[in-house]
Amino acid sequence: MIRLIGYFFGIGTTLALIVAAGVAIYISHLSKDLPDYEVLAKYEPPVTTRIHASDGSLMAEYARERRLYLPIQAVPDRAKAAFLSAEDKNFYNHPGIDITGLGRAIYVNLQNLGSGRRQVGASTITQQVAKNFLLSSDQTYERKIKEMILAFRIEQAYSKDRILELYLNEIFFGFGAYGVAGAALTYFDKSVNELTVAEAAYLASLPKGPNNYHPFKHADRAIERRNWVIDQMVENGYVTREEGDKAKAEPLGVTPRRNGSYLFAGEYFTEEVRRQIISRYGENALYEGGLSVRTTLDPKIQLIARKSMQNGLLKYDTLRGYRGPVTHIDASGDWGVALGNVKGLEDVPEWSLAVVLDSSATGLSIGLQPTRQISGDIVKERIEGAVSKEDMSFAMRHVVDGKTVKAKSPADVLQPGDVIFVQKNEGSEGAYTLRQVPEVEGGLIAMDPHTGRVLAMVGGFSYAQSEFNRATQAMRQPGSSFKPIVYSAALDNGYTPASVIMDGPITIQSGTTTWTPKNYDGTVAGPATLRSGIEKSRNLMTVRLANDMGMKLVVEYAERFGVYDHLAPYLPMALGSGETTVMRMVSAYSIMANGGKSIKPSLIDRIQDRYGKTVFKQDERGCEGCNAPEWNNQPEPELVDNSEQVLDPMTAYQITSMMEGVVQRGTGATIAELGRHIAGKTGTTNDEKDAWFIGYTPNLVVGLYMGYDTPRGLGHGATGGGLAAPIFKDFMRVALDGTPNVDFKVPEGMNLVAINRKTGMRAASGDPGTIIEAFKPGTGPADSYWVIGMGADGSNGAGGPLSPQATEAIQAPGGGLY
């Protein structure tokens, strides 16, 4: 018997050794093909890029995988406890494989053989890291063995905290969210530190199968799984029984965070920043690089800009009548679903879509568009209201077949089933005002003239309606708002604000082409000073000035100011016939406001990579001594401004002073009501297709235009002073509120001389029509009267007779001809 036992023992041992050898050979074979687990040390997952306003407000997030990488030290114990309880309660004790859990899984799978049930696994967190990072998701024993081998090796190479950190930042949670930090924001719009026990437990439920525990499609299943995780947390001693019961009683409370832009009114700015980052670093850097971008946007100024621009566009548009409903639906039955499917303007929350239920002589009965639940389902609750005839008075002039028709009753304008935009009347329950999306558009830029930082940008009435950015992308003729560039060139090259130019008819012959420019009002004023020419925006004076000094010089300054890259040297270009953008024009005016120094317009202050290292900084000024280790009574360090001097500082002040006259007495006089030191210039293009105003204080430059996307006339008499200047005024009234009224600084060495406004000559004490003018050293008012652009025979330089004003000026004391 002993010999027989020994015989069987020997056979068993031999077989065991053979099996062990076979297993060892198999494992050795599998080990040869295992991926290098050391790559985990260099783990750089795709991370969300976040864009912030200048005050730190989150503007937008961009990611293919919505992930924010969180070091394990920053993960709160409550969140760790939830995931350990749900996935691997023995994580900190096992060597990579949980033998107890593995045995239990093998037993269950043996019981389930032939039953058709899915086999259960016993993967530890370490094994899941091995699978997620290094292996496929194939459900095979070979993959499982490889996973175990890698788990042992990973445990030997990395600390438990590092492994848990990798796991918590890699796993997929559904809704496009990766990693626990991204999931907390996506599901609850919270940071991980703010999660409650119930919320942490629900997130810990999701890695098993996000779609299986969808918060809206499978809410009951999701709550059941969450409550199981809470029970595990209680059993493992992470929370008390009372805390667990309280957490289980809570609803899921999922409030998904929307994608894209988060800062109200900042959509155009955000999109421009997105394009710049892609242009600079590429799409992968934007969507995977985890960049932190601090922009120049000032949210308060942006809101002011949006409101001012929208109000101006609406005011113009409503005066042109009503163009009809958005669409038409069947309002006879349950109109809520049909209306709920009509797309509104999400970035104009003041407005709502509504369907006309009844129309009569006194007004409209309307039904408001129902809201959508977080799940996307339309709420079937009906909210009704009314629009009185007075609150839709502008629509009594409505467009029918391209013609404007006057209606007698609201019933002549809108019928039941028509879908319209309405805005709730403040302080009146159930009362609404009819609205329509304006056909006219425009763009606005607000900029710091000393740094080029763009503080606000409006690219149109609504980004939801049109993503085309009219502040940066629309190429428009600036019209008379280009004239300060021409006058700056003149002042920089020997002319003075008191130089006199002929404002009279002129004909330009170029080959076989004849051009006869005219002033906007069709009149001529005779000889007048440069100041008068820019204040009254006289085209004929500008053409003569450009002709006198040569278009080559005008082209040089236009390109030096950055208004154009290449300007054709033709005289009509002196009147702003070339096409440019609002951004370029505002940048050019910033040079004048900044004492003639060049500025580089910027939407981005700083960009940091995923590790916090600054990879881009807009401010390139040097600062010696800024990083001194200690203070030893040395003077305060100063920033060294290395900007190029584009324009003589004295010239910059002269043109600024002249444009102050535009506001005080000229085409922009409506702005004088603000009682501020503001310089600016109106602009109106041929056939009144565009209306411009660009102006500035010592610390803020704002420019805008209004016009149709497909250029057409804005109407007879539509000017920059009548359309664009009021928008500028509304903006400045609010933006400058509470700030000091700072005057423009006179450069040292300039001479201030009283001159006669009409003749440009020195004025005697007490003379009427006197104005203080700034002259550079070595220059001053003329000693004798002379007129640029007048023929030697006393003609106006175009062969015609002199105007009465010209004759009067020539006969003045000291008058003469040039």
The 3 state secondary structure assigned to 455-520 is EEEECCCCCCCCCCCCCCCCCECCHHHHHHHHHHHHHCCCCCCCCEEEECCCCEEECCEEECCCCC
Number of H helices, E strands in the chain: 22, 27
Q: Which of 85, 123, 480, 587 is catalytic?
A: 480
Tell me the pLDDT band of 111, cut-offs 50, 70 and 90.
Answer: low
The rounded distance, in Å, linking the Cα atoms of 703 and 445 is 6
Tell me the pLDDT band of 815, cut-offs 50, 70 and 90.
Answer: very low
* Per-residue pLDDT tens digits for 620-676: 777 777 888 888 888 888 877 788 999 999 999 999 999 999 999 999 999 999 999
Tell me the pLDDT band of 7, cut-offs 50, 70 and 90.
Answer: low
Q: Which range scores top for mean pLDDT: 106-110, 370-374, 589-593?
A: 589-593
* Per-residue pLDDT tens digits for 29-66: 455 566 666 777 788 899 999 999 999 999 999 999 98
Contact status, residue 682 vs residue 692, Cβ threshold 8 Å: yes
The rounded distance, in Å, linking the Cα atoms of 471 and 477 is 13
- Average pLDDT on 92-97 reads 86
- Average pLDDT on 129-154 reads 73
Count CB atoms within 10 A of the CB of residue 277. Answer: 22
Give the model's pLDDT for residue 802: 39
In the predicted model, is pLDDT for residue 583 greater than 80?
A: yes
Tell me the pLDDT band of 809, cut-offs 50, 70 and 90.
Answer: very low
- Average pLDDT on 4-20 reads 66
- Average pLDDT on 712-734 reads 96
Q: Which of 61, 87, 147, 660 is catalytic?
A: 87
480 is catalytic: yes
Contact status, residue 254 vs residue 51, Cβ threshold 8 Å: no
Give the model's pLDDT for residue 132: 78
DSSP 8-state secondary structure symbol assigned to residue 66 = B
- In percent, the amount of the chain with pLDDT more than 70 equals 87
In the predicted model, is pLDDT for residue 135 greater than 70?
A: no
The rounded distance, in Å, linking the Cα atoms of 413 and 396 is 7
501 vs 381, more confident: 501
In the predicted model, is pLDDT for residue 739 greater than 50?
A: yes
Give the model's pLDDT for residue 152: 81
Average pLDDT, the chain: 88
* Per-residue pLDDT tens digits for 245-267: 999 999 999 988 776 668 899 99
Q: Which helix (H) or strand (E) holds 554?
A: helix 551-560
Tell me the pLDDT band of 786, cut-offs 50, 70 and 90.
Answer: confident
In the predicted model, is pLDDT for residue 325 greater than 90?
A: yes
Give the model's pLDDT for residue 19: 62
* Secondary structure class of 578 (helix, strand, coil): coil
Contact status, residue 643 vs residue 80, Cβ threshold 8 Å: no
Q: Which of 184-188, 248-252, 368-372, 602-606 has the lowest mean pLDDT?
A: 368-372
Give the angle 469-471-477 at the CA atoms, nearest 5°: 115
In the predicted model, is pLDDT for residue 814 greater than 50?
A: no
Count CB atoms within 10 A of the CB of residue 436. Answer: 21
The rounded distance, in Å, linking the Cα atoms of 459 and 467 is 8
* Per-residue pLDDT tens digits for 186-236: 999 999 999 999 999 999 999 988 999 999 999 999 999 999 999 999 999
Contact status, residue 663 vs residue 680, Cβ threshold 8 Å: yes
Give alpha helix (H) positions in 319-451. Answer: 335-340
Give the model's pLDDT for residue 60: 94
β 431-435/384-388 pair status: parallel
602 is catalytic: no
Tally the residues of the chain. 818
Tell me the pLDDT band of 113, cut-offs 50, 70 and 90.
Answer: low
- In percent, the amount of the chain with pLDDT more than 90 equals 69
